[in-house]
Amino acid sequence: MKRKGGRREFGRILLKTLAVMVSIAVFCTLGYSLLERHQRLVEVEEEIAEVKESLEEERKKQQELTARRDKLRDPEYIELLARQELGLIRPDDVPYQWTFQR
């Protein structure tokens, strides 16, 4: 009878050991999975920050371009550019040039 009891006790210990090992394996797998997901979450958060920064830069560019477009629609500004950059004059203007002598 001692042999039967010893085998049962050995079987219980073996079963408990196996259960603990399976539990450890499951927890390790879950831990690894959580770690991978956390790393991916961090990567996605960094990407979001970069996209937000890029979006803000593009919005500033858009505002600058809109302001420039609005200026170019102003006839007075167009005349100023024509006079300063192209040297154009109105038909009723009297042209003159300064000449400096040394």
pLDDT single digits (tens) 24-42: 999 999 999 999 999 999 9
Contact 94, 100 (CB under 8 A): no
Q: Are 89 and 95 in contact (CB under 8 A)?
A: yes
Please check whether residue 78 is in contact with residue 72, taking contact to mean a CB–CB distance below 8 angstroms. yes
Supply the pLDDT for residue 4: 62
The C-alpha atoms of residue 59 and residue 55 are separated, in whole angstroms, by: 6
Contact 82, 88 (CB under 8 A): yes
- Say if residue 60's pLDDT is above 90: yes
Task: Check pLDDT > 70 for residue 1.
Answer: no
pTM for the whole thing?
Answer: 0.53
